[in-house]
Structure 1
Amino acid sequence: GICFLLAEALNEVLFSRLHTPLSTVRAFSVSQSRHPTAGPVWNLGRLNHVAIAVPDLEKASAFYKDILGAQVSEVVPVPEHGVSVVFVNLGNTKMELLHPLGSNSPIEGFLKKNKAGGMHHICIEVDDINEAVMDLKKKEIRTLSEEAKTGAHGKPVIFLHPKDCGGVLVELEQA
């Protein structure tokens, strides 16, 4: 189930990087240094969490808590995003287990297409979310809302369109 999907996704990311020919890496780093560009006024931070949509929040929570021994929160309703969330603390980052809340939850549609659940999005911290959004829009990266909203951690968040991010729904969160 969820564990297998996460392991497969991580394997794909890790092994695709490891199997990149060195000549490709060298060519990329050389070409980058020949064309300096002005850096953005915002900085990308650490991975905040990986969000997993789950059809059964209680069962998924029990797996991480009772089977894997992770520190797992109580269920946190986040009505403005249409989800109930359980936070799984992994020390260096978190996982968010997402379950639909309310009638127009974005997770409901995801679970209709992915009955067993699966990875929904990744969240990366930024030091200035407003600057990041302005800069990314100039680079023609679409956002799913006009401006940042308060997320499950009480901080401003915004989602970037998966079609502009290599097929991955990316959430940016103010650090």
Structure 2
Amino acid sequence: MSDDDDEDYLDKSPAAARMGKAAEYLVAASAILATGGELNVSTSLVDDEGVDLVFHRRGSSATLAVQVKARMSTGTQVQRGRLMGFVRSQTFQPRTDLDVLFVAVDVERGAIMTAWLIPSGTFAEMTEPNSRGRRRFSASMKPDSKDRWTPFRLTDAGLPSRILTRLADLENPGAR
């Protein structure tokens, strides 16, 4: 994929921005519901640091900041079984308490199809910025695929428990 393709792929219409925000709220709401309210989620008023959602567990002080990159089931790549996304270097500063979440959303059902939750340090190690300062993510959505992102792939049901695990890791860094 050329950098020009990058640019076309990243063009955002007002509808795309609206859909992206809806996907963030879908992730937040489903995590709260699936954990019986054990998880809580905060959102940023301004998204200039690449943080869309901040998760924390009830009764705990640990937080997990998450940058969400959503793609819709109506998109060509998702229909072909692949999720592609780009993370801009300007808003990406790896740190222990930041993960990147790539998520495919079924727009007809209003549900998460597949997700990848990747610690930001790991994402930085596994990717290089292109000539425009963007880190490229491209993963197969096929259940039997074995690409390099497979260890991070989650079902909609697995995402909330992975967030809880990440928070436990942050709360007790030496326990695991």
TM-score normalised to structure 1 length? 0.30
Larger radius of gyration: 1
**Length-normalised TM-score, structure 2:** 0.30
